[in-house]
Structures are given as C-alpha cells and as structure tokens.
C-alpha cells in the first residue's frame, strides 16, 4: 500500500472516529436521566396526586445537566432518597447553592419521621439542624450559624457514631449533633425554589461497603461510540462500492463532522440546559416506563365527579362546592384523602361539629381558569343545587382584566340564585410568587367589598407558617403537611357558616 493510500486511510479513520465521538456526545445527554441512574428515588413520582414536573424530573435530562443533580430543576423542591436503607458510617457530598438558594441533607428517615440539615444562602432562611414528623412538620430545630456557606461548590462530611452525628463544614467547621438515631435508615436530599447542584456523594456503610455517585454517564460513551462507528463504517462501505472513489468517503465524513460539531456545541450549551427544550423532549416521550400519570385530566375529573355525585340535589344536609384548580384538587398529597377539601369535610368543624355533616364536593380541576370553571358550573354543577360555593382562584389566570371579568360573572350568577359564596385568596409559595397573583388578589378584595362576599386570605395565613416545615412542592402545590395547614387556616373562617338542617 502506497504512502498516499496510508494517509488517506488514516484521515478516513480519524474522521469516522470524530464523527462517531461527537454523535455519541449528542445522544448521551438526552438519555442521561435519574430514572436510568436507578440509585436515587424521587419522592414526587410517588405522590397519590401528582404535581407538575414530578415525572419529568425523572425521565428528562434537565435535572442532570453538567453531570450534577439539580434539585431546583422542574419547578424546584425536588426530593430524592438513596434507594437502599443503610447503616451509615460516613457520608461526603459536594453542594453548590445558587443565589438565595437553600437545600437539605436528610437522614434518619424511618416510619416515625426524619432528621436533616438545612444549608442556606438565603438571608431569610437560616441554616439549621431539625427533626420532622413523617409529613414534614418541624418538631425540633437548632440554628447552626457556625456553618459558613459561600458561592460555588462546597464540600461537607457527615460522620455517624453511637454518640450522634458529627458534621464537617466547608470551611473546616465542626458541629456535633447528639441524637438517638435509628438504623437502618433512609438518606436523601431536598432542594428549594432556586437551583441547587449536588455531586460527588460518597457513602460508607457501617459494614465497610462503599458507594460513590458522580451523576455522570461517561461510562456509556465508548459503547455508544462503538455502535455509531460500526454503523458509519458500514455506510462508508456502501458509499465506496457505489462511487468507487475513496475521496468521496473523505468528503462525506468531513461534511458530517462539520455538521455534528456545531450540533454538539448547541446541544451541550443550549438545548439540554433549557427548560423549554426539556418540555419538548418530555412531550415527545410517549411511554414513561413504569410511571403512570397521577395528575387527573379535565375529562377524568368531570367523569369522576359525575360518577361520585349524581347531578341532583342532596337528600339531606348542606352541600358545599369547593371550586378551584390543581391546588384545590389536592396536588401534592401522599394519600388522596389528605388534601384540604376532604380534611375539612371529615373534621366536622364546618356545620355543627359533626364529622361529614356537611358534604363538600371537591370541584378542583388542574389547569383550568375562572372562566372555564364558570362555564362548567353553569352547564353542569348548578344541578347539584349547592348550599354554598367556595372559590379558590388566582394562580392560573394570567390576564388580570379577564380574571376580573370572569370573577364578576361568577358573583353575579351566584347572587342571582341566592347561593352564598366565599372568596379565597389562592396561595403561592412566598419564595416564588407569580407576577399575576397579587394583582388578582387585589381584584378579589375589591369584589369582596363591592358584593359583600366573605374573603379568606389563605395566602397570608400559610405564609406565616412557611418555615415551620416542608409546605411546598413548587410555587403553588402544597405538600401533605401544607394541605393540613391549609385546613387549619380555613376552618376558623368557615366554622358554623353552614349548619346542618
């Protein structure tokens, strides 16, 4: 073989190597997901009533961009647990908190609750040690001002012993936390509203076993590269036997390389980092593996309501209709009966103190707005002949003028039929209040005064207790404990409003 032939063969091999390499780099980020990682379990996908972004965090790559786990991805407040229960000896991890961000290292999880460290760069949220009940309410907490957290990745170490927990902070701080910890136990991490990146987790079991997590899928690069390269070799063989000109193969591979390099750069530095691109990827997935949607659609909700509550008046006792969107429906609860509407019905605090003496129909439908819910009420729900209607709306209505018009229509329609009404200021997480929320709340206040309709400020009530536990799964959806607190906020205003006949 001549020297020129060897040069051509060398350049051909180099070009095919590079094309296959960059193709593999383009492909791998889109398959790099928490689901394929398999070691960490997301809490949101196990909720009885799902929240937006729960499954997407598992099956799209947005949470693992840059080979780190971002617990602020997909609306934040992501919570993951190491799948096996363990008897830990030592745990090391790197944590980078974004500006005004905070996150949690969770441990000692049993059926009685869990403990944790909150690490914060938010001046309004203190770094602390806490003990919580199974629903996330803080039972005990101690501020840890000695742990100094700066920008950039910070390394932490937790050492478990019979004396308790010893924490080594990023600046060499040492914190001793006494406690009677249970074994085996669950170990996990939780984010807040803002971005928080987790990496380099090193677990040492009491029996000496070790586990190291880098959230990287680089080990899959070369097997994928080999498959693509073999396909490219076959394609080149077909091209050669067709054209009988080796320069055509060199030109073909060079053109491919000119295409895949900018594609790789675009993919790495734009697409996989962007929420909108991840949303398109999520919508393109037609099969979610073992995951079934736990968010009720509009048609499913309407069919369930028709099945559970025939469209006719109730035989005895008051009937109230609680109208709202996904928050009212109960998104975020671990058990379906834990949302605040069935809690209110069971408590007996509304209507004379007897449990279930007042029937409360949960007419919350995810994604709807005031106007579309009014249309359903006029066409269908009015046949229930409710003794009262409670309207928990604001978050989904982005256009405040349309919201004002639709809420005016609600109040006029109900007043014409002499149906008592209560307006509720739908709450948001104080860390992530949507731009339309407070203007919509002001509209409801004005309408309350103009029409003489009672108004309950659920937003302000929940904000007072926001730092008493894990209240939110995102900017609008409450945890199980958050639903419990919503019940506690609503009951004093609603108590005895409707007495049983």
* Integer Cα distance of 45 and 35 in angstroms: 11
Cα torsion 25, 30, 31, 37: sign? positive
Q: Which residues contact 247 (CB under 8 A, 6 or more apart)?
A: 8
Query: What 3-state DSSP class applies to 472?
Result: strand
Buried b (16+ CB within 10 A) or exposed e, 290-305: ebeebbbeeeebbeeb
Check if the beta carbon of residue 300 is closer than 8 Å to that of residue 338.
no
Residue 177 CB-density burial (10 A; 0-12 exposed, 13-18 middle, 19+ buried): middle
* Integer Cα distance of 423 and 351 in angstroms: 18
In the chain, where are the structural domains located?
1-67+222-287, 68-216, 298-494
Taking each helix axis from N to C terminus, what angle separates 3-31 and 246-269, rounded to the nearest 10 degrees? 30
Domain 298-494, CATH number (from 3.30.200.20, 3.20.20.10, 1.10.3260.10, 3.40.50.1110): 3.40.50.1110
As a whole number of angstroms, the longest Cα–Cα distance in the chain is 103
Q: Is the pLDDT of residue 275 over 80?
A: no
288 pLDDT band, cuts 50/70/90, is: low
Buried b (16+ CB within 10 A) or exposed e, 330-358: bbbbbeeebbbbbbbbebebbbeeeeebb
Nearest alpha carbon to residue 199 among 165, 157, 155, 166: 155
Encode pLDDT of 115-142 as tens digits.
Answer: 999 999 999 999 999 999 999 999 999 9
3-state helix, strand, coil in the chain (%, to 5): 40, 25, 35
- Encoding tokens for residue 57? 């965090």
Check if the beta carbon of residue 84 is closer than 8 Å to that of residue 213.
no
Check if the beta carbon of residue 365 is closer than 8 Å to that of residue 373.
yes
DSSP 44-97: GGG-SS--TTHHHHHHSGGGGGGGSEETTSTTS--EEEESS-B-EEEEEEEEEE
- Encoding tokens for residue 25? 């780099």
* Integer Cα distance of 128 and 116 in angstroms: 8
How much is the mean pLDDT over the chain? 89
Query: Which of the residue ranges 203-212, 289-298, 420-429 would you say has the lowest mean pLDDT?
Result: 289-298
pTM of the model: 0.89
Check if the beta carbon of residue 363 is closer than 8 Å to that of residue 389.
no
Between 188 and 174, the more confident residue is 188
49 pLDDT band, cuts 50/70/90, is: very high
Check if the beta carbon of residue 105 is closer than 8 Å to that of residue 119.
yes
Q: Is the pLDDT of residue 281 over 50?
A: no
Q: Is the pLDDT of residue 63 over 70?
A: yes
Residue 446's pLDDT is: 98
Encode pLDDT of 299-328 as tens digits.
Answer: 999 999 999 998 887 777 789 999 999 999
Encode pLDDT of 400-457 as tens digits.
Answer: 999 999 999 999 999 999 999 999 999 999 999 999 999 999 999 999 999 999 999 9
Other beta carbons within 10 Å of 430: 18
DSSP 134-166: TT-BEEEEEE-TT----SS-EEEEEEEETTEEE
Cα torsion 468, 473, 476, 480: sign? negative
Q: Does an H or E element contain 188, and which?
A: strand 186-190
Residue 182 CB-density burial (10 A; 0-12 exposed, 13-18 middle, 19+ buried): middle
Query: What 3-state DSSP class applies to 108?
Result: strand
Highest mean pLDDT among 180-189, 286-295, 344-353: 180-189
Residue 232's pLDDT is: 93
DSSP 350-400: TTTT-TTSSEEEEEE-TT--HHHHHHHHHHTGGGG--SEEEEEE-TT---H
Task: Report the chain's terminal Cα–Cα distance, integer Å.
Answer: 102
Q: Which CATH number is associated with domain 68-216?
A: 2.60.120.200
């Amino acid at each position: 073989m001549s020297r020129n032939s060897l040069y051509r063969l060398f350049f051909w091999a180099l070009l095919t190597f590079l094309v296959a390499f960059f193709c593999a780099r383009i492909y791998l980020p889109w398959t790099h997901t928490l689901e394929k990682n398999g070691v960490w379990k997301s809490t949101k996908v196990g909720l009885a009533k799902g929240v937006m972004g729960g499954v997407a965090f598992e099956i799209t790559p947005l949470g693992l961009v840059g080979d780190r786990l971002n617990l602020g991805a997909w609306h934040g407040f992501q919570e993951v647990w190491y799948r096996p229960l363990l008897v830990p000896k030592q745990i090391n991890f790197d944590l980078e908190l974004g500006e005004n961000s905070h996150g949690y290292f969770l441990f000692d999880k049993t059926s009685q609750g869990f403990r944790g460290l909150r690490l914060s760069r938010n001046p309004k949220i203190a770094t602390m040690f806490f003990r919580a009940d199974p629903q996330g309410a803080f039972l005990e907490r101690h501020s840890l001002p000695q742990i100094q957290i700066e920008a950039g990745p910070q390394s932490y170490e937790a050492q478990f012993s019979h004396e308790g927990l010893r924490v080594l902070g990023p600046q060499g701080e040492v914190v001793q936390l006494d406690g009677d910890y249970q074994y085996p136990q669950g170990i996990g991490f939780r984010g807040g509203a803002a971005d928080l990146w987790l990496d380099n987790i090193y677990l040492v079991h009491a029996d000496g076993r070790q586990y190291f997590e880098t959230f990287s899928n680089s080990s899959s690069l070369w097997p994928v590269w080999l498959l693509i390269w073999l396909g490219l070799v076959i394609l080149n063989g077909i091209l050669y036997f067709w054209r009988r000109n080796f320069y055509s193969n060199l030109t073909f591979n060079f053109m491919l390389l000119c295409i895949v390099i900018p594609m790789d750069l675009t993919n790495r530095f734009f697409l996989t980092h962007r929420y909108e691109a991840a949303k398109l990827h999520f919508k393109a997935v037609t099969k979610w593996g073992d995951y079934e949607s736990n968010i009720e659609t509009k048609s499913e909700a309407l069919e369930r309501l028709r099945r559970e509550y025939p469209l006719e008046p109730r035989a005895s006792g008051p009937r109230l209709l609680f109208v709202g969107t996904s928050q009212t429906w109960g998104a975020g609860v671990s058990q379906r009966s834990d949302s605040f509407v069935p809690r209110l019905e069971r408590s007996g605090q509304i209507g004379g103190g007897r449990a279930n003496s007042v029937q409360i129909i949960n007419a919350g439908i995810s994604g709807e707005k005031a106007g579309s819910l009014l249309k359903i009420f006029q066409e269908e729900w009015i046949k229930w002949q409710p003794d009262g209607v409670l309207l928990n709306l604001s978050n989904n209505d982005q256009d405040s003028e349309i919201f004002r018009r639709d809420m005016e229509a609600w109040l006029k329609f109900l007043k014409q039929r002499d149906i008592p009404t209560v307006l509720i200021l739908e709450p948001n997480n104080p860390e992530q209040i949507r731009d339309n929320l407070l203007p919509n709340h002001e509209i409801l206040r004005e309408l309350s005064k103009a029409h003489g309709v009672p108004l309950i400020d659920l937003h302000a009530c929940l904000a007072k207790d926001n730092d008493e536990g894990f209240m939110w799964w995102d900017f609008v959806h409450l945890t199980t404990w958050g639903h419990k607190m919503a019940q506690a906020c609503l009951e004093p205003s609603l108590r005895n409003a409707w007495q049983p006949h």
